Amino acid sequence: METLQTATVHRIVICSEAPRLNYIMSGLKCRVSLPVAVGAVLVGVPYSISLAAQWLYGWPNKPGYKKYIEALRPRRIYCLTRAVLETLKYLQYGRLYFQWKSWYKNDENRKHYEKGITFGRRSNKLDLYHPPTLGKSEDVPTPLVVFIYGGAWGSGDRSIYCLLARQMAEELGATVVCPDYCTYPKGNVLGMVQDIADCLVWAQESGQKFNFNKDKIVLIGHSAGAHLCALTTLFLIDSREELFIEARKLQDITCAIRGVIGLSGVYNIMDHYEHEQKRAVEYVSTMHKAMNGVGNFPYYSPTHLLEKLSQDKLSRVPPFALLHGTTDIIVPVESSTKFSELLTSVSVKVSLYLLPKVDHTEIVTDLMAPERRFYNPIYTCIKQEYRNLLGTC
């Protein structure tokens, strides 16, 4: 009887200890799973993002298995993940996206512009935005602004910039043209330059039809577009055979370009490639692909071309105005400051504006609507330089 009672007591003790053991085991599981979960987030997520980006856009240029070793370096994973996550800030432009989308599709706005005009050897399209005519004679031709959008030489569309072009026509009192051009992989940088040159040929032939002054042209470009504006201008001055434009037309176009306004532009391709390497995006970027490889960087760099021009050709380079935001991490501000110094050293007129707290995207998106934060400061600079450029013979 005594033995039975003892066994019962032991059974009760064991049963009473069971919940405590479960609690302890549960705590151990939590302690083990939390580090595992944190490790999965800190390691698994960055590696997944980076591998997906490299799978979609390009692996490191290394032979065989070495490309995977290079792709999986911790520094590259961290930097590339950071660069990818930085693109999430573009979500803040969702409202602006719907604004331009609806404006461009609204047929009532067709009174402000001519849509889908064909030009050039590749039958690209351009949109032409009319200037405001209030208080002005419609018989007086207006100056022409050609706006070249950016997109890392691999993306972009003229419709995205309809609000910008409309505001620019109003602010500058000019006819504004926004052409498409062959981005990578449909074309390389030479093809892009040819397309922009074709747009300028079209302008020489169409001034009377659309009532703009074909001899007063200002090029404005953003990012890769600023690079293409500068490069096209220098190719024209250098009379490059690759443009396949007859000499007389080249001369007319060159004389018609009164100046170039660059917004956060890339002017030295090798410098920018080194910046891309620091951000670990040089392989996923379309830049080196659009340039047909690193070996062509000097050929497509406005800085390199400028250094090679003769004194006679340098005297025909139009004035430049360079605007750059000080918080730009996509294209560092040094791109414009160094180009400005080079232009000054070869006696080309240049103005440089460094805009505090403006980043790479805001310098163009904030030109689309008057309520945008930097609309007035940026347009103040552009309008001042625009007037100066048109006053230059």
Q: One-letter amino acid identity for 144? A: L
pLDDT digits (tens, 9 = 90+) for 8-58: 444 434 444 545 545 444 554 555 576 666 665 666 677 677 777 777 777
Are 209 and 121 part of one and the same domain?
yes
Domain termination site, one of 94, 114, 133: 94
- Residue 161 and residue 74 share a domain: no
Report if residue 305 sits inside a domain: yes
- Per residue in 273-316, pLDDT (tens digit) is 999 999 989 988 999 999 999 999 999 999 999 999 999 999 99
Do 67 and 210 fall within a single domain?
A: no
Residue identified by tokens 């951000």 is 279
The answer to whether the beta carbons of residues 51 and 80 sit under 8 Å apart is no
Domain range holding 29?
23-94
313 in a domain, yes or no?
Answer: yes
Last residue of a domain, one of 72, 94, 116: 94
Alpha-carbon separation of residue 322 from 204, 240, 267, 345, 352 (angstroms): 26, 25, 11, 16, 5
What is the arithmetic mean of pLDDT over 336-342? Answer: 98
Angle at 202 between CA 198 and CA 207, to 5 degrees: 150
Residues 348-385 have pLDDT tens digits of 999 999 999 999 999 999 999 999 999 999 999 999 99
Residue whose structure tokens are 């995205």: 160
Same domain, 254 and 281: yes
Helices (H), the chain: 2-39, 45-57, 66-71, 74-86, 94-105, 162-172, 189-210, 224-237, 247-256, 269-278, 287-290, 302-308, 311-314, 334-345, 362-365, 375-390
The Cα 328–Cα 250 span in angstroms is: 35
User: Is the N-terminal amide bond of 318 cis, ω within 30° of 0?
Assistant: no
Per-residue model confidence (pLDDT) at position 66: 76
Q: How confident is the model at residue 138 (pLDDT cuts 50, 70, 90)?
A: low
Cβ-in-10-Å burial (0-12, 13-18, 19+) of 233 comes to: buried
- Residues forming a β-bridge with 259: 218
Mean pLDDT across 238-248: 95
The CATH number of residue 112's host domain is 3.40.50.1820
Does any domain span residue 3? no
CA distance 171 to 220: 14
Which residue type occupies 33? S
In degrees rounded to 5, what are phi and psi of residue 258? -85, -20
Q: Give dist(CA 111, CA 82) in Å, integer.
A: 44
The mean pLDDT of 174-184, rounded to a whole number, is 97
User: Is residue 284 a contact partner of residue 49, using CB atoms and an 8 Å limit?
Assistant: no
* C-alpha distances out from residue 248 to 194, 204, 251, 255, 260, Å: 16, 12, 5, 11, 22
Asked if 210 and 339 sit in the same domain, the reply is yes
Do residues 29 and 163 both lie within one domain?
no
Number of domains in the chain: 2
Residues 135 and 88 in one domain: no
Cα–Cα distance measured from residue 375 to residue 364, given in angstroms and rounded to the nearest whole number: 9
Residues 258 and 358 both lie in one domain: yes
2 belongs to a structural domain: no
Q: What is 165-203 written as a DSSP string?
A: HHHHHHHHTSEEEEE----TTT--HHHHHHHHHHHHHHH
Give the pLDDT score at 60. 81
Domain endpoint, select from 65, 94, 123: 94
